[in-house]
Amino acid sequence: MSQSISAARVAVLVGDFHRSPAYTGLADALRELIGDGRIGYGTRLPSERDLTTELGVSRTTVTRAYAVLRDSGYAEARHGSGTFTRLPGGPTRAHDRALWPTDVSSGVIDLVCAAASAPPGIAAAYAEAAAALPAHLGGHGYYPAGLPDLQARIAASYDDRGLPTSPDQIIVTTGALAASAIVGKALAGPRDRVLMESPTYPNAVQALRAGGGRLVTVPLDPEGWDLEAIAGVLARRSPRLVHVMPDHHNPTGLVMPDRERAAYAKLLARHGATAVVDEAHHTLRLDGAPPQRPFASYAKDAVTVGSASKSVWGGLRLGWIRAPHHLVDPLVRARVGMDLGAPVLEQLVLTRLVTGEFDAVLAAHRERLRQQRDALFAALTAELPDWTFRPPAGGMVLWCRLPTAGATALSIEAERHGVLLAPGPSFAPEGGLDRYLRLPYTVPVPDLEEAVRRIAAAWRVVSVSGQSATPPRDRRAGVLVA
């Protein structure tokens, strides 16, 4: 059964829309609400009569606004049933639900997936691992907590960062998302709340709710973490888990200072909440700044999730959990209910990297990202000078603020120009953020420069018309992978 939305709720959401002319302002406001998910896909809109009464406008205003929605692909009329929301290209364009990978057509530049190609040295590591594999073929091949050598190396990396860790505190997983899902399944049941920042990486939201936990959000200020607001949510909602990305936050690029990490950890301890610390990007410092202390060095009960996909290569599907001793057993039990361990060959590859060439591989990876980041800065400054952004000190993405709301419309128009984009609402668990756009700098410099030229052309169309000129083909594009 389709959901519906009342005229009173629509009136609250559209707010004080511009009225020159009124039907255009109402249509623009509704397009933004539908595009960023605050009015969900397939929702039945209020009748023209009810919305006319609620807004205090003429019937003609609402009738013409609904007609604009239908003509631009944001609504459809169903005989005898009413007007229902849709998106140009169909339901796979519902950006708040787009969480699966897709193929990219020739000539299209993908700025949705924030993942780079493999740096030099990866093929050699695979060859060495393959040569060592026969020594493991006599066993069953199942390592629910990971190969002991790899556990030891990952534990040592935490020791090197000033966080004493024993190998039995490490659980090797098939990627960071699998690690987050294990944590969610083990530690947050249907009666528990899971606190997430907004914006945040949307796939992490789904992963941490694997055990049925209920989502609670707290806004992440563009300037950093508002600990007073976080304290209020902790007091009111009592979440069981709190997801934190303190290092090169995805998508904002923010880095949490040490003093805030200490204060945040005290808040969590006071309210009995467990931090799930996402460190997928912590190795990707690009400006030479000294690293911050691990969040878990301030929060003894924190569970930390790490990843080889960002620091090495997305095709090396390995992640890990660093957990306090008392949580290791429930986490391993939850993990066995999902799979029995990561592939042995990939674990051998990562073991060789972290014991030998990892520094060289990481240095090459950082240098490439640094060059691409700087090229993206220069291109945006030249082509879109009215866009604003905070230059990130690391990570893989740039979080742009547009002069006006319209990131969803831009992503649709940009697809017509051959660029796939992830608009701000993709990162807002409860809607909003249509004035923001995430741009990865993980593709080669010429592609980045061409992408920005295409985006600028698309933005000119959106700025003039307030909408995408022509709905693109349904290609299952614009989805989030990383």
Q: Which residue has the higher pLDDT, 335 or 290?
A: 335
pLDDT-derived band of residue 475, with 50, 70 and 90 as boundaries?
A: very low
pLDDT value of residue 154: 97
74 near 30, Cβ under 8 Å? yes
Q: Which residue has the higher pLDDT, 93 or 5?
A: 5
Q: How many CA atoms lie within 13 A of 139 on its CB side?
A: 8
Q: 201 in helix, strand or coil?
A: coil
245-259, 266-280, 415-429: least confident range? 415-429
> How many residues are there in the chain?
482
As a whole number of angstroms, the distance between CA 146 and CA 105 comes to: 37
25-39, 142-156, 224-238: least confident range? 25-39
- The model's pTM is 0.79
How does pLDDT run across 12-43, given as a tens digit for each residue?
A: 888 888 888 999 999 988 987 886 667 877 88
34-38, 283-287, 436-440: least confident range? 34-38
Structure tokens at 156: 């040592």
Q: How many CB atoms lie within 10 A of CB 299?
A: 25
89 near 475, Cβ under 8 Å? yes
Q: 13 in helix, strand or coil?
A: helix
Mean pLDDT calculated for residue range 210-234: 92
Mean pLDDT calculated for residue range 280-288: 92
How does pLDDT run across 367-398, given as a tens digit for each residue?
A: 999 999 999 999 999 999 999 999 999 999 99
pLDDT value of residue 101: 46
pLDDT value of residue 349: 96
Q: How many CA atoms lie within 13 A of 208 on its CB side?
A: 30
pLDDT value of residue 480: 57
What average pLDDT is seen over the chain? Answer: 89
How does pLDDT run across 72-99, given as a tens digit for each residue?
A: 888 999 988 899 998 765 544 444 333 3
As a whole number of angstroms, the distance between CA 11 and CA 54 comes to: 7
* DSSP 8-state symbol, 84: E
pLDDT value of residue 386: 96
Nearest partner of 427 among 88, 79, 99, judged by Cα? 99
Radius of gyration of the chain from Cα atoms? 24
How does pLDDT run across 153-167, given as a tens digit for each residue?
A: 999 999 999 999 999
Q: 364 in helix, strand or coil?
A: helix
Percent share of the chain, pLDDT over 90? 69
